[in-house]
Structure 1
Amino acid sequence: MNTENLQSLGKIPETMLITLWAKAEECHYKQPFLVDEKAQEMISQIDYDFSKFKKSKFSQAGVCLRASLIDKEVQAFISDHPDAVVIQLGAGLDARYERIGCPNVTHWYELDLPEVIELRKKFFQESERRTFLSLSLFDSQWITLIKAPQKPILIIVEGVLMYFERKDIKAFFETLCHELNEAVFLFDMLAYALVGHAKVHDSLGTMEENQRPEFKWSELNSHTLEAWNPKIHIEKEYFMSDFNKGRYPFIFRMLYKIPYFYRRFNQRVIKVKIVENEE
């Protein structure tokens, strides 16, 4: 594929190439967090200098660990709700649908900006149960679509929300709560200490300054979200250092034993249930 296909990507969409590289790279480990054959296939067809990420071992492990934790939660939800409607917002070039065995759900949607969906269509196929949506995640048209079948709803956002302002994230959650009576929402929370410090990140730091997006949002306490709307309930929270299998650098594994560092420098995967209070 010519590099011209990547020229229209903006700062945030280009970060999908970091996660693509990370998942393709995971095949080199004896005990991988995940196996993503589609990522390996795609990376060989994209003309991009992925070698600049070769020293980003910390974030490479983090990307795959994060994805594996979300994959497990998605599989559990579909096991409990085989008729679910699932949507992945900011899907990029992620192959979660393939990784979990192309589940026969009511419908599986993948949403991203038009230039990303155009690229995505070169590698993935839509079907009667799988649809790509060329929309911003802040465009509520997609909410109307997922509500229509009146089936259990699962919303996934991975590696995206940290690039937006807190006010935008809060408004996003308010819209979900207003529009949906019940849903499960899976997302990752950036390490709190990284807000405003994308340049020191081991993979984003390799990007040109004028092309590098900034980290704008995290919450020190995930339960802060519950104060935003009474329909928001934190069901589960994974502090990722607890699951790193020795893949994180030794110094960080030691630092994570310190509560102050553990809380502020840990990325999290969070499961939120949106539901009316039963009172």
Structure 2
Amino acid sequence: MTDRRAHLGAVQETLLIPLYGRAVETRKDQAVLRDAKAEEMVASIDYDFARFDNLPSLIGTVLRTALFDDWVRAFLSDNPYGTVVEIGTGLNTRFERADNGRARWFDLDLPDVIELRRKFFRDTSRRTMISGSVADVSWTGTVTAHGDGPYFFSAEAVLPFLDASDVRQVIARIAERFPGSLLALDTAGPEIIDSQDRHDALGKVQARMRWACGDPAEIVGWVPGGRLLATHTLTGLPRAMFDRLPAEYQGMLTVLAEQRMPQVEQYRLNLVRLP
């Protein structure tokens, strides 16, 4: 890679936080996930990743990614020839962890992100990068033209950075174009939105979340017939996932659960069945 800098917009810069989280996690003796590609990318990009060292949020990003991985794997177990669409893919490597060798994948993100992503990944017969905004309807045509249902849409650490009206429009559009699809997304409550300047990771970058969602159930109210299949805080992960975490993480999450901090309890990971 000749130019090692990451030429990214303010919101797009946030993708470097979970990237670093996966790289740091990979180096641990007991890791929630392993991601050698993340280590390679961190080593290749000229960026001050050290600003995120030892931040609790790094662990949070890894746990979020691991849960989304589980949801994708479960979807592909039931639908081995289904299609997975990564909305705001960043430098995500879910394909490397969860692909079953038969599914169709699409990685959607803004042009500056896809330009960076192409330095590390290539399109294949089953995996395609799409340069564009999730708010632009044209990307849905690419997916329907080259992918078959059922569909799983993963929007990890993306939608909270949009205005509420844009989030509603995006979800309504996916429901209209891909009826019956699954959508995984994270939501942040009002107290999280109001305290971002003091957030351990976001406080170190310019981007700020804009969509405050106090109750994920409101999402299905936007698309009549939709269902909220699962919603979890980081301290209330599915039992099967919690049981396989390293003991250190189990202890940390148990303590956090007892403290019931709004900054933790108002951040939720959600799986929605669209009508």
- For each residue in 1:175-220, what CA deviation from the matched residue of structure 2 results, as whole angstroms up to 9, or x when unmatched? 222222221111112254211322111012123xxxx111211322
Give the letter aligned to residue 265 of structure 1: E
Structure 1 match to 2:156: 158
Q: So what's the TM-score if we normalise by structure 2?
A: 0.88
- What are structure 2's unaligned runs of at least 5 residues? none
| Preserved contact between residue 196 and residue 215 of structure 1 (Cα < 8 Å) | no
User: Does 1:205 pair with 2:233?
Assistant: no
- For each residue in 1:216-265, what CA deviation from the matched residue of structure 2 results, as whole angstroms up to 9, or x when unmatched? 11322111112212132111112211247553896x85453366x46973
Structure 2 match to 1:239: 233
Structure 2 match to 1:87: 85
Structure 2 match to 1:274: 274
| Preserved contact between residue 113 and residue 134 of structure 1 (Cα < 8 Å) | yes
| Preserved contact between residue 234 and residue 264 of structure 2 (Cα < 8 Å) | no
| Preserved contact between residue 193 and residue 264 of structure 1 (Cα < 8 Å) | no
- What are structure 1's unaligned runs of at least 5 residues? none
Structure 2 match to 1:29: 28
User: Does 1:226 pair with 2:220?
Assistant: yes
| Preserved contact between residue 5 and residue 46 of structure 2 (Cα < 8 Å) | no
Q: Percent identity, please.
A: 30
Kindly state the Cα deviation for residue 42 of structure 1 after the two structures are TM-superposed: 0.9
Give the letter aligned to residue 214 of structure 1: R
- For each residue in 1:55-83, what CA deviation from the matched residue of structure 2 results, as whole angstroms up to 9, or x when unmatched? 31x10100000000000110010010011
Alignment map for 1:121-160 (pairs within 5 Å): 121-148=118-145, 149-160=147-158
Report the number of matched residues. Answer: 266
Q: 1:190 to 1:3 in 2, by over 3 A?
A: farther
Q: 1:144 to 1:54 in 2, by over 3 A?
A: same
**Which shifted more, 13-22 or 235-244?**
235-244
Give the letter aligned to residue 274 of structure 2: I
Kindly state the Cα deviation for residue 106 of structure 1 after the two structures are TM-superposed: 4.2
**Which shifted more, 186-195 or 33-42?**
186-195
Q: 1:54 to 1:249 in 2, by over 3 A?
A: farther
Kindly state the Cα deviation for residue 166 of structure 1 after the two structures are TM-superposed: 1.0
- For each residue in 1:19-59, what CA deviation from the matched residue of structure 2 results, as whole angstroms up to 9, or x when unmatched? 11111000233332211111011111111111111131x10
| Preserved contact between residue 192 and residue 264 of structure 1 (Cα < 8 Å) | no
Distance in structure 2 (CA, Å) of the matches to 1:263 and 1:194: 5
Q: So what's the TM-score if we normalise by structure 1?
A: 0.87
Q: 1:106 to 1:265 in 2, by over 3 A?
A: closer
**Which shifted more, 154-163 or 169-178?**
169-178
Structure 1 match to 2:43: 44
Distance in structure 2 (CA, Å) of the matches to 1:228 and 1:54: 39
Give the letter aligned to residue 237 of structure 1: T
Q: Secondary structure at the match of 1:6?
A: coil
Structure 1 match to 2:174: 176
Structure 2 match to 1:105: 102
Structure 2 match to 1:74: 72
Give the letter aligned to residue 257 of structure 1: E
| Preserved contact between residue 192 and residue 267 of structure 2 (Cα < 8 Å) | no
- For each residue in 1:76-118, what CA deviation from the matched residue of structure 2 results, as whole angstroms up to 9, or x when unmatched? 1001001101110111111111122x43234210011111111
| Preserved contact between residue 88 and residue 107 of structure 2 (Cα < 8 Å) | yes
Structure 1 match to 2:209: 215
**Which shifted more, 217-226 or 156-165?**
217-226
Q: 1:204 to 1:262 in 2, by over 3 A?
A: closer
Distance in structure 1 (CA, Å) of the matches to 2:28 and 2:236: 19
Distance in structure 1 (CA, Å) of the matches to 2:254 and 2:266: 11
Q: 1:190 aligns with which of 188, 191, 194?
A: 188
